[in-house]
């Protein structure tokens, strides 16, 4: 390995001092608290039915919407959407092919709420079962509990007829190997000193742009030597440099005003075994109240748990806030938890999806996205299927953890996967 974890620690200190941050601290939507502000992602129309979900559900919404119009249950329609990415081995944020924990094991989380019957179900840290959204629903329907975790949840799923299968696809396994190699300067993973391409750690004298170029090039070469397909190598590199939190949320509202929500995820890539984020936590990853509406989240799970995001949003709407104002308030609580310190806030991000019982909806995000031209998007169907852009609280782009120095903008322009 030519670039060690120690090198990153050193350069990140230098870089954060030298480069400052790529984000500003203004609140462009501060007036949203009034609930009066109009925006593309804030719709006050009262169309029903409505399906609202994270953008990775887009391809599955049309069929679920047809089912909803045909009388399908709202939770079943929402699950129909999220099952798409769960079953897709090429979506590495959820279900089959989700990125694994640090030991190479895929662990999935999910929770759901069924508005009409005011029930909830959840599972956390489930291995070997891909459709955890359906397992969460089964917990709700077939037990007197709300949440099962780990081995017990897996055994319950098998008892309910869900097949055990290996969730680690070959590609996700290779990305995990790449992550291990990249982070390895204190163990025996990765090419050793005998490898013809091995070089001692480079001195930190190069400009950040060059260091980033080297890092990306080395990772891409390693991705190639691990057999990751050429068209996927840069995406794999991005996942190593910025482990994603994955996740899909979907809320569905029918023409009778019944509403339900579901969130499912493989969680933070390369997490500690046993870590669960916000997705299986009722009130954080998802919350639905038949009297008010439904909300869900994707993004930095640890931050969302601390503000009980989905529950906060539904309560805000109960007290009269619009969907957008309700979501903005939850984001501001995250900002408040760090006293507005942008040096910390830039390493986290959060998107909330908010659907009110009358069909009004919004999606809001902490940052605009992770780079210019790639805003946070969401999918909505209220008779017309489309993707819209979430309204950001903060101007600028998040940087994901771990805290490397910011990638220079000119390099982002050159490198397709960083755009
Ligand atoms: N929001 C997904 C997670 O943090 O696991």
| Dihedral pair phi/psi, residue 197, rounded to 5° | -95, 0
Whether residue 95 has its Cβ less than 6 Å from ligand 1:
no
Nearest-atom number in ligand 1 for the CA of 267 is 5
- Ligand 1 pocket: which of 133, 277, 401 to mutate (most atoms within 8 A of CB): 277
| pLDDT of residue 21 exceeding 60 | no
The string of DSSP letters for 151-168 reads HHHHHHHHHTTPPP----
Nearest-atom number in ligand 1 for the CA of 304 is 1
**Of residues 49, 107, 69, the one with CA closest to residue 279:** 107
Nearest-atom number in ligand 1 for the CA of 266 is 5
How many percent of the chain have pLDDT more than 70? 81
Whether residue 301 has its Cβ less than 6 Å from ligand 1:
yes
Query: Which pLDDT score, from 0 to 100, does residue 234 have?
Result: 87
- Ligand 1 pocket: which of 279, 334, 365, 376 to mutate (most atoms within 8 A of CB): 279
Residue in the block written with tokens 């060059």: 210
* Dihedral, CA of residue 188, residue 190, residue 194 and residue 197, to nearest 10: -160
Q: How far is the CA of 297 from the centre of ligand 1 (A)?
A: 8
Whether residue 110 has its Cβ less than 6 Å from ligand 1:
no
Q: How far is the CA of 348 from the centre of ligand 1 (A)?
A: 11
For the annotated catalytic residues, the residue numbers are: 247
Query: Which pLDDT score, from 0 to 100, does residue 24 have?
Result: 37
Q: How far is the CA of 350 from the centre of ligand 1 (A)?
A: 10
pLDDT digit string, tens, across residues 246-296: 799 999 999 999 999 999 999 999 999 999 999 999 999 999 999 999 999
Sign for the pseudo-dihedral over CA of 339, 340, 341, 346:
positive
Q: How far is the CA of 71 from the centre of ligand 1 (A)?
A: 32
What's the full length of the chain, in residues?
Answer: 419
Whether residue 125 has its Cβ less than 6 Å from ligand 1:
no
Nearest-atom number in ligand 1 for the CA of 285 is 1
List the CATH code of the domain at 5-88+244-392: 3.60.20.30
Q: Element (H or E) spanning 260, and its range?
A: strand 259-265
pLDDT digit string, tens, across residues 344-401: 898 899 999 999 999 999 999 999 987 777 899 999 999 999 999 999 999 998 875 5
CB 328, CB 393: distance < 8 Å:
yes
- Ligand 1 pocket: which of 54, 247, 347 to mutate (most atoms within 8 A of CB): 247
Q: Which residues of 250-289 are buried (b: 16+ CB within 10 A; e: fewer)?
A: bbbbbeebbbbbbbbbbbbbbbeeebbbbbbbbbbbbbbb
CB 352, CB 364: distance < 8 Å:
yes
Confidence of residue 129 (pLDDT cuts 50, 70, 90): very high
Which pTM does this prediction carry? 0.84
Largest CA distance in the chain: 68
pLDDT digit string, tens, across residues 67-80: 999 999 999 999 99
Sign for the pseudo-dihedral over CA of 183, 186, 190, 193:
positive
Q: How far is the CA of 277 from the centre of ligand 1 (A)?
A: 5
What is the spatial distance between Cα 399 and Cα 213, in angstroms, rounded to a whole number?
Answer: 17
pLDDT digit string, tens, across residues 375-386: 999 999 999 999
CB 300, CB 349: distance < 8 Å:
yes
pLDDT digit string, tens, across residues 135-180: 999 999 999 999 999 999 999 999 999 999 999 999 999 999 999 9
């Amino acid at each position: 390995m030519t670039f060690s974890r120690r090198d990153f620690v050193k350069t990140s200190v230098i870089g954060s001092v030298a480069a400052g941050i790529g984000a500003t601290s203004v609140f462009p939507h501060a007036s949203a608290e009034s609930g009066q502000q109009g925006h593309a992602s804030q719709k006050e129309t009262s169309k029903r039915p409505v399906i609202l979900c994270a953008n990775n559900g887009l391809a599955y919404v049309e069929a679920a919407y047809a089912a909803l119009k045909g009388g399908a249950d709202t939770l079943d329609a929402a699950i129909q959407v999220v099952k798409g990415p769960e079953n897709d081995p090429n979506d590495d944020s959820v279900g089959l092919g989700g990125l694994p924990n640090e030991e190479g094991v895929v662990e999935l989380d999910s929770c759901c709420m069924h508005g009409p019957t005011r029930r909830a179900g959840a599972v956390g840290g489930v291995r070997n079962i891909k459709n955890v959204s359906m397992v969460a629903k089964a917990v709700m329907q077939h037990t007197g509990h709300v949440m099962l975790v780990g081995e017990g949840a897996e055994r319950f799923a098998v008892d309910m007829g869900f097949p055990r299968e290996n969730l680690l696809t070959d590609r996700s396994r290779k990305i995990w190997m790449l992550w291990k190699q990249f982070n390895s300067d204190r163990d025996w993973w990765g090419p050793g000193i005998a490898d013809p391409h091995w070089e001692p750690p480079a001195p930190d004298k190069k400009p950040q742009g060059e260091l980033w170029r080297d890092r990306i090039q080395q990772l891409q070469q390693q991705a190639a030597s691990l057999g990751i397909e050429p068209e996927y190598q840069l995406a794999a590199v991005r996942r190593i440099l910025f482990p994603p939190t994955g996740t899909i949320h979907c809320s569905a509202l029918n023409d009778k005003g019944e509403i339900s929500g579901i969130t499912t995820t493989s969680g933070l890539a390369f997490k500690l075994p046993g870590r669960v984020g916000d997705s299986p936590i009722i009130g954080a990853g998802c919350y639905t109240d038949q009297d008010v509406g439904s909300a869900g989240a994707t993004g930095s799970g640890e931050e969302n748990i601390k503000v009980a995001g989905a529950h906060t949003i539904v309560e805000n709407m109960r007290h009269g806030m619009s969907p957008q104002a309700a979501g903005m308030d939850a984001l501001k609580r995250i900002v408040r938890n760090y006293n507005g310190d942008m040096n910390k806030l830039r390493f986290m991000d959060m998107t909330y999806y908010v659907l009110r019982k009358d069909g009004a909806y919004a999606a809001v995000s902490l940052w605009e996205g992770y780079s210019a031209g790639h805003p946070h998007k969401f999918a909505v169907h209220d008779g017309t299927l489309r993707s819209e852009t979430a309204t950001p609280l903060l101007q600028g782009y998040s940087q994901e953890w771990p805290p490397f120095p910011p990638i220079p903008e000119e390099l982002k322009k050159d490198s397709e996967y960083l755009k």
